Amino acid sequence: MVLSEETRENERARIAELVLDLVKERGAEVPFATAINESGVSRARFEQIFIDYDDLFDAIAQSWLKPHMAAMEEVLETDLPPNRKLYEFFRRRFVISRDRFREDPEFFTNICEMGAANFERVRSYVDLADHYQCELIAEAQAEGYFAGLEIDEALSLINQMVSNYTVPDSLIYLGEKLTEQKLARIVDTMFIGLSAEAGGEATGVNTIRIAT
Amino acid sequence: MVLSEETRENERARIAELVLDLVKERGAEVPFATAINESGVSRARFEQIFIDYDDLFDAIAQSWLKPHMAAMEEVLETDLPPNRKLYEFFRRRFVISRDRFREDPEFFTNICEMGAANFERVRSYVDLADHYQCELIAEAQAEGYFAGLEIDEALSLINQMVSNYTVPDSLIYLGEKLTEQKLARIVDTMFIGLSAEAGGEATGVNTIRIAT
């Protein structure tokens, strides 16, 4: 029997959720064979739904990252000023991850390890987040922020400065040291201070220094 | 035979270097028993020098982090303005790590993994770096930077914004995306923008917004 596209999509989502539940229960990554056994469908049917483990992992990542995707898309559609928008862009995803971490740190850690081990499958989400972030940077630059920086430069600098709030593993190491208030301070600090002119003072390239 | 304190210190340094060489050669952490066998001294003598693996690891960390410690102490003693000083405080250690990473990425990665697995033994170095950084923050605040922030708040915010340049593992993930120019921009951005006032704009706590 050939699956309809709709049934296949529904089955992918259902089994991805099921595998996430199994990871939570067992405290370990679930092998492909176990996923087949636990899926409630025949091996032949399973292999119509997922070609291989990578394909299954794609569905798991899609399921896990769905709230993050929704949060980013919501923020992009708002009519907030650029600094509020960039803050919300990071904050909402951070809160989703933090709530998950607080609810079950062990499960969260396992998911992070799975993400690291299958990073190539997660890269498209990182790229999409970067793509959205570039839109926000362009909007900010239209209002005079991040002056003189190429979008890619601004993207890289911003990513480096907020990485503890976007890389989920940071929660494992820093936990309650990561707060929304600090994130807001970091975002404002970037909006106030980040431009192509920043850098000269610290490196001492300028030979004359205005007394402060 | 009881070892003199000087002999013991010299032997600790010698064996720590030897173990680092073995890690490099073998591409794996060196167990205590192997360290004993390779040390060129008897087990009884070895156990006078190192009580256990933790004690050996302390000597390895001391050896590995010696250039970082020297760099921090040198910067603290300079008479540079606060922004130059904080930049150099991060830059010099970053360059040491980057050079080591470029020279032998696999060895560097193994050392990072050893550090993560024995983090409690490395914590005192992190604490000391924080302590030095607090001195630099106090000097900067005396000149009006980071206004209104408690030293601990400023420390945490700065650490979060530059963490990719201080946590050595970042080199493994970000490699050439980490540059001295970006670090300089980040440091200047903090000096321009970071204060107790930062945060209100991004969170939208203020109800009236001045047109920009």
What is the dihedral sign for C-alpha A127, A132, A137, A138?
Answer: positive
For residues B95 and B196, membership in a common domain is answered with: yes
Report yes or no on A124 lying in a domain.
yes
- The end-to-end CA distance of chain A, in Å, is 77
From B183, B189, B209, residue closest to A194, measured CB to CB? B189
Which residues in chain B touch residue A197, judged by CB atoms under 8 angstroms apart? 188
Chain A positions touching B146 (Cβ under 8 A) are none
* pLDDT tens digits along B31-68: 999 999 999 999 999 999 999 999 999 999 999 999 99
Q: Which of A156, A189, A203 sits opposite B190 (nearest CB)?
A: A189
Same domain (yes/no): A116, A157: yes
Predicted pLDDT at A208: 46
Dist. CA B36–CA B53, nearest whole Å:
10
Is B57 inside any structural domain? no
CB A180 within 8 A of CB A109: no
pLDDT for the residue B208? 46
Tell me: do A73 and A9 sit in the same domain.
no
pLDDT of residue A124: 92
Average pLDDT, chain B: 93
Looking at residue B202, its pLDDT comes to 87
Do A39 and A133 lie in a common domain? no
Q: What integer is the mean pLDDT of B72-93?
A: 96
Same domain for A105 and A168, yes or no, is yes
pLDDT value of residue B207: 45
Q: Same domain, yes or no, for B87 and B164?
A: yes
ipTM above 0.85, yes or no: yes
| Minimum Cα–Cα distance from B146: chain A residue | A189
Do residues A200 and A104 share a domain? yes
Pair (A80, A178) in one structural domain:
yes
DSSP-derived secondary structure letter, A168: T
Residue A104 lies in a domain: yes
The amino acid present at A163, given as its one-letter code, is: S
* Same domain (yes/no): A69, A39: no
Residue A195's CB: how many other CB atoms inside 10 A?
20
Residue contact B201–A188, C-beta within 8 A:
yes
Whether residues A102 and A144 fall in one domain? yes
Q: Does residue B11 fall inside a structural domain?
A: yes
For A144-184, the pLDDT digits (tens) are 999 999 999 999 999 999 999 999 999 999 999 999 999 99
Domain membership flag for residue A188: yes
Positive or negative, the CA dihedral B114, B120, B125, B129 is: positive
Q: What is the DSSP string of A40-107?
A: SS-HHHHHHH-SSHHHHHHHHHHHHHHHHHHHHHHHHHS---HHHHHHHHHHHHHHHHHHHHHH-HHH
Into how many domains does chain B fold?
A: 2
Residues B38 and B123 in one domain: no
State the pTM of this model: 0.91
Q: Which CATH number goes with the domain that contains B180? A: 1.10.357.10
Q: Once rounded to an integer, what is the mean pLDDT over residues B16-31?
A: 95
Cβ contact B41:B82 at 8 Å? no
User: CA–CA separation, A119 vs A189, rounded Å?
Assistant: 31
Write the pLDDT tens digit of every residue in A61-106: 999 999 999 999 999 999 999 999 999 999 999 999 999 999 999 9
B161, B185, B206: which to substitute to probe chain A, counting the most A Cβ within 10 Å?
Answer: B185
Q: What is the pLDDT of residue B2?
A: 78
Answer yes or no: are the C-beta atoms of A136 and A82 closer than 8 Å: yes
Predicted pLDDT at B36: 95
**What distance in Å separates the CA atoms of residue B68 and residue B129, rounded to the nearest whole number?**
9
Cβ atoms of A182 and B160 closer than 8 Å: yes
pLDDT at B209 over 80: no
Q: Could you tell me if residue A59 is inside a domain? A: no
From residue A159, how far is each of A69, A153, B190 by CA, in Å?
A: 17, 10, 15
Question: Residue B93 sits in which domain range?
Answer: 65-212
Question: Is residue A94 situated within a structural domain?
Answer: yes
Task: For A105-150, write each residue's pLDDT tens digit.
Answer: 999 999 999 999 998 889 999 999 999 999 999 999 999 999 999 9
Q: Is residue B70 included in any domain, yes or no?
A: yes
Q: What pLDDT band is residue A3 in, cutting at 50, 70 and 90?
A: confident
B73 and B176 in a single domain? The answer is yes
- pLDDT above 70: percentage of residues in chain B: 96
- The length of chain A is 212
A207/B161: higher pLDDT: B161
pLDDT in tens, B126-157: 999 999 999 999 999 999 999 999 999 999 99
pLDDT over 70 (residue A44): yes
Task: Round to whole Å and give the CA distance between B71 and A59.
Answer: 48
